[in-house]
């Protein structure tokens, strides 16, 4: 719109000038190179304008030609940077949406297109975090630290990585470096403060809190409360070693947070130890008005020297009436704590009527377990009624919980400055838990039993697994041994074959055996024994050398022997049976060679105590078995 208005104004000026020149005619005369030139004013002005335009155009052409290389470089560079920034933007979007592939792709593209761009390092670090590559993440943040523009960003990334890896020492060093580089860094100061409080470094935490208080937008009330908690923690730490300094710190803490029960209780204890009874009671009364608590009442009811019981009870009753005065949010809590304090003092002194009167207003409502227990004591002490005592104790089991020190679900007997669960400062609160403690204890016991049962089951499973593995190992070992034995037997068979062949040749020449030809073929599992009867005139008694002596007729044989003094024994054979007999003899752990019996029978190897196989005539008498 503004440009259109500018064009319109220029057009109006041009038209106005033309009209003015037309209404005011004139001439311009001049001599130039022996020429006399006379021209109207309008034409002269138009010529000047045209000349100026031509000069501008010429200058721009010359300048464009002279700067063409740079112009081309700037064009391509700007185009490259444009693509790089587009990739950077898309990569950050991909990281935010959890698209790992897209983040990796655009991170590489942005790194290639953009040189020395800090945001590319951030994209690479975030992509490495998305990948779960801690080394690449650490390297990317370390590169960011090398540049001043991105040093704080890199330190924060390293700080978060150290916290994620639960490396508190490294995180603290990084936070200190960040605070030294920029004392106004909120994340660095808060992180350093949290680690110092978790470690119990109360002095360092106080210094960090002072720097946090100087930041813009700091919460003054919250910082005062934290300072009071830190001072109380430091006082509790040196209570036994330096009581005077601890008292100073506790009193200073009360100036920042008068409602802090722990600071008041500690200061009152130290004052009572010094004998400053009145000052201690004043501190207790001020805090009792702001935050009624059983610990405050327990310190106040301490009996003075030479104080009569009735005076003590009146003093306690007067103190109890001041509970929560002027604070509507503490009124209900003050009524209960005041009644409990008076009832306990009355029960201690045996004034059952006063104790009952103190509790009568709160017993009508749904009393807590503490109130029911006190009523049981009153019934026991005043009347000795066991039935009522049992009834009140039973009600105590089902009664609502009493207020306790609670922080992140953890219940503590006494106040602590930090939570043992999260390490947060000032996490403990005096309040009623939103669950039944008895049920919680029962659940915890059940969980313990369940964990014990699961551990036993896991132990049994692991034992069974170990036994199965042992069986598998034994089987493997047995297989290896069997393979080894088989290999040894095969080698022995081959050796015996060679010895038998050489022995057979010698026996034929010396013993006169001219009719038996024996061929032994060894296989992995079976041994084929082929006996070809050529001329049977003598009995061949065959037995392996490694077997025990066997019975062969009336003689004991060892190895392969030929007997000339006895004729071979003939056995009944089938006429249809061929002369050539082939038997399959399995290898036996007791014998490594087959046993040949008769002229055409092959006896299988067997154990020495085995009577052998029945002969064809089925006679179990002498000679009815194949002889060995």
Same domain for 48 and 135, yes or no, is: no
- Residue ending a domain, among 289, 318, 351, is 351
241 part of a folded domain: yes
Among 66-75, 432-441, 557-566, the least confident range = 557-566
Q: Does some domain include residue 423?
A: no
Rounded to two decimals, the pTM is 0.57
The mean pLDDT value for 344-364 works out to 90
Please give the pLDDT value at position 604: 45
- What separation, in Å, do the N-terminal and C-terminal C-alpha atoms of the chain show? 127
Angle at alpha carbon of residue 171, lines to 168 and 177, rounded to 5°: 145
Largest Cα–Cα distance of the chain, in whole Å?
171
Same domain, 190 and 323: yes
Residue 259 included in any domain: yes
Provide the 3-class DSSP secondary structure of residue 378.
Answer: helix
Q: What is the pLDDT of residue 574?
A: 44
267 and 150 in one domain? yes
Query: What is the token pair recorded at 278?
Result: 């009145």
- pLDDT value at position 98? 84
Domain boundary among 336, 351, 366: 351
Give the chain's domain count. Answer: 3
Q: Give, in degrees to the nearest 5, the angle at Cα 418 between 188 and 240.
A: 115
Structural domain contains residue 11: yes
Judgement on whether residues 185 and 249 belong to the same structural domain of the protein: yes
pLDDT at 503: 58
Q: What is the pLDDT of residue 261?
A: 94
Which letter, b or e, does each residue of 327-357 get, where b requires 16 or more Cβ atoms within 10 Å of its Cβ? Answer: eeebeebbbbbbbbbbbbbbbeeebbebbbe
User: What's the confidence (pLDDT) of residue 362?
Assistant: 87
Half-sphere CA count of 531, side-chain side, radius 13 A: 24
Interatomic CA distance for residues 306 and 53, integer angstroms: 116
Do 316 and 199 have their domain in common?
A: yes
Residues 38 and 140 in one domain: no
Same domain as 218, residue 345: yes
More confident call, 48 vs 208:
208
Mean pLDDT across the stretch 179-205? 91
pLDDT tens digits along 236-257 = 999 999 999 999 999 999 999 9
Cα separation, 125 vs 136, whole angstroms: 7
Instruction: Please check whether residue 550 is in contact with residue 544, taking contact to mean a CB–CB distance below 8 angstroms.
Output: no
In a domain, 475, yes or no: no
Same domain, 46 and 187: no
In a domain, 58, yes or no: yes
pLDDT digits (tens, 9 = 90+) for 580-626: 434 444 444 434 444 444 444 444 444 444 444 444 444 444 444 33
The verdict on 242 and 311 lying in the same domain is: yes
Domain match, 57 and 206 both: no
Alpha-carbon span 310 to 572, nearest angstrom: 131
Q: Determine contact, residues 211/176, Cβ cutoff 8 Å.
A: no
Residues 275 and 177 in one domain: yes
Residue 235 lies in a domain: yes
Nearest to 589 by CA among 605, 611, 602, 613: 605
Poorest-confidence range of 97-111, 188-202, 366-380?
A: 97-111
Residue 309: give its domain's CATH number.
1.25.40.10
Q: What is the residue-averaged pLDDT of the chain?
A: 77
Point out the domain boundary residue: 305, 332, 351.
Answer: 351
- Alpha-carbon distance values, 444 to 277, 398, 437, 441 (Å): 44, 18, 10, 5
77 found inside a domain: no
For residues 44 and 508, what is the distance between their CA atoms, to the nearest angstrom? Answer: 149
Q: Of 510, 500, 502, nearest to 596 (Cα)?
A: 500
User: Residue 570's pLDDT band (boundaries 50, 70, 90)?
Assistant: very low
Phi, psi dihedrals of residue 549, rounded to the nearest 5°: -60, 135
The DSSP element (H or E) to which 335 belongs, if any, is helix 331-349
Contact 591, 606 (CB under 8 A): yes
Which domain does 205 fall in, by range? Answer: 116-351
Together in a domain, 60 and 123: no
């Amino acid at each position: 719109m503004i440009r259109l208005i500018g064009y319109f104004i220029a057009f109006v000026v041009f038209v106005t000038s033309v009209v003015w020149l037309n209404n005011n005619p004139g001439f311009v005369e001049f001599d130039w190179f022996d020429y006399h030139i006379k021209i109207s004013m309008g034409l002269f002005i138009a010529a000047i304008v045209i000349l100026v335009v031509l000069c501008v155009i010429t200058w721009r052409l010359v300048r464009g030609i002279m700067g063409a290389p740079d112009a081309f470089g700037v064009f391509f560079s700007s185009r490259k940077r444009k693509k790089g920034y587009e990739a950077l933007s898309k990569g950050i979007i991909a990281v935010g949406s959890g698209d790992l592939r897209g983040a990796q792709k655009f991170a590489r593209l942005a790194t290639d297109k953009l040189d020395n761009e800090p945001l590319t390092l951030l994209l690479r670090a975030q992509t490495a975090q998305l990948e779960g590559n801690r080394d690449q993440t650490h390297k990317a943040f370390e590169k960011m630290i090398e540049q001043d523009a991105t040093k704080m960003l890199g330190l924060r990334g390293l700080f978060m990585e150290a916290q994620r890896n639960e490396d508190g020492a490294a995180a603290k060093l990084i936070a200190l470096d960040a605070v030294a580089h920029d004392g106004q860094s909120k994340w660095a100061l808060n992180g350093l403060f949290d680690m110092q409080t978790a470690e119990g470094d109360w002095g360092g935490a106080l210094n960090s809190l002072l720097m946090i208080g100087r930041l813009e937008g700091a919460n003054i009330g919250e910082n005062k409360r934290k300072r009071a908690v830190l001072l109380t923690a430091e006082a509790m730490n040196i209570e036994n070693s330096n009581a005077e300094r601890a008292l100073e710190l506790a009193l200073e803490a009360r100036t920042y947070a008068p409602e802090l029960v722990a600071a008041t209780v500690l200061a009152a204890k130290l004052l009572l130890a010094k004998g400053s009874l009145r000052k201690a009671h004043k501190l207790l009364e001020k805090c009792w008005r702001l935050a009624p608590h059983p610990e405050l009442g327990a310190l106040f009811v301490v009996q003075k020297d030479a104080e009569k019981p009735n005076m003590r009870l009146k003093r306690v009753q007067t103190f109890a009436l001041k509970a929560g005065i002027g604070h509507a949010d503490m009124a209900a809590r003050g009524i209960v704590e005041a009644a409990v304090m008076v009832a306990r003092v009355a029960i201690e002194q045996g004034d059952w009527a006063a104790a009952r009167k103190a509790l009568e207003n709160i017993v009508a409502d749904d009393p807590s377990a503490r109130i029911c227990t006190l009523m049981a004591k009153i019934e026991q002490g005043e009347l000795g009624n066991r039935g009522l005592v049992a009834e009140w104790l039973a009600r105590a089991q089902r009664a609502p919980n009493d207020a306790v020190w609670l922080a992140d679900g953890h219940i503590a007997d006494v106040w602590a400055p930090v939570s043992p669960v999260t390490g947060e400062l000032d996490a403990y609160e005096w309040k009623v838990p939103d669950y039944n403690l008895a049920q919680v204890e029962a659940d915890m016991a059940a969980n313990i039993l369940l964990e014990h049962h699961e551990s036993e089951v896991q132990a049994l499973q692991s034992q069974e697994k170990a036994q199965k593995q042992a069986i598998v190992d034994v089987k493997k070992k047995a297989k290896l041994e069997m393979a080894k034995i088989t290999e040894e037997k095969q080698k022995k068979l081959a050796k015996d074959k060679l010895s038998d062949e050489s022995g057979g040749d010698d026996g034929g020449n010396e013993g006169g055996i001219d009719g038996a030809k024996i061929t032994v073929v060894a296989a992995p599992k079976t041994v084929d024994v082929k006996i070809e009867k050529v001329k049977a005139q003598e009995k061949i008694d065959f037995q392996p050398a490694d077997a025990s002596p066997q019975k062969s007729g009336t003689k004991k044989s060892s190895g392969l022997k030929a007997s000339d003094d006895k004729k071979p024994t003939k056995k009944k054979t089938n006429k249809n049976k061929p002369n050539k007999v082939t038997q399959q003899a399995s290898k036996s752990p007791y014998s490594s060679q087959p046993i040949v019996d008769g002229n055409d029978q092959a006896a299988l190897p067997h154990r020495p105590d085995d009577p052998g196989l029945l002969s064809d005539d089925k006679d179990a008498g002498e000679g009815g078995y194949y002889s060995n």
